[in-house]
């Protein structure tokens, strides 16, 4: 029987999001380990991360925040929705 996948909800606050991730941490980690073993993940290369770190540093923000901003912008562009 296939394992049921978690559905990540929309959160009303960062606190609510942090609590959800903490509550589901073991399941998320297990699912990630399985995906890695099965070759179902995509990773950024060290070069990608180095570039992201440098560009983020130039903007005075953390590289993970920078990557999230890039992802958000691309999702908005790809979906045809205006940027907020």
- The phi and psi torsions of 10 (rounded to 5 degrees) equal -85, 140
Whether residue 5 has pLDDT greater than 80: no
As a whole-number percent, the residues of the chain with pLDDT over 70 amount to: 93
Summarize pLDDT for 26-55 with one digit per residue, the tens.
998 888 888 888 888 888 888 999 999 999
Selected residue with higher pLDDT from 77 and 81: 77
d(CA 40, CA 25): 19
Domain boundaries along the sequence of the chain: 13-42, 46-79
Global confidence as pTM: 0.49
> CA dist 48 to 45, 58, 79, 84, Å?
5, 15, 24, 26
Mean per-residue pLDDT for 14-32?
90
What value does the mean pLDDT of the chain take? Answer: 87
Whether residue 18 has pLDDT greater than 70: yes
């Amino acid at each position: 029987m296939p394992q049921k996948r978690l559905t990540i909800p929309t959160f009303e606050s960062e606190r609510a999001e942090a609590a959800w991730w903490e509550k589901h941490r073991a399941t998320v980690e297990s699912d990630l380990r399985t995906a890695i073993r099965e070759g179902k993940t995509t990773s950024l290369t060290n070069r990608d991360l180095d570039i992201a770190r440098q560009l983020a540093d130039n903007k005075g923000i953390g590289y993970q925040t920078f990557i999230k901003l890039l992802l958000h912008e691309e999702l908005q562009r790809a979906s045809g929705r205006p940027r907020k």
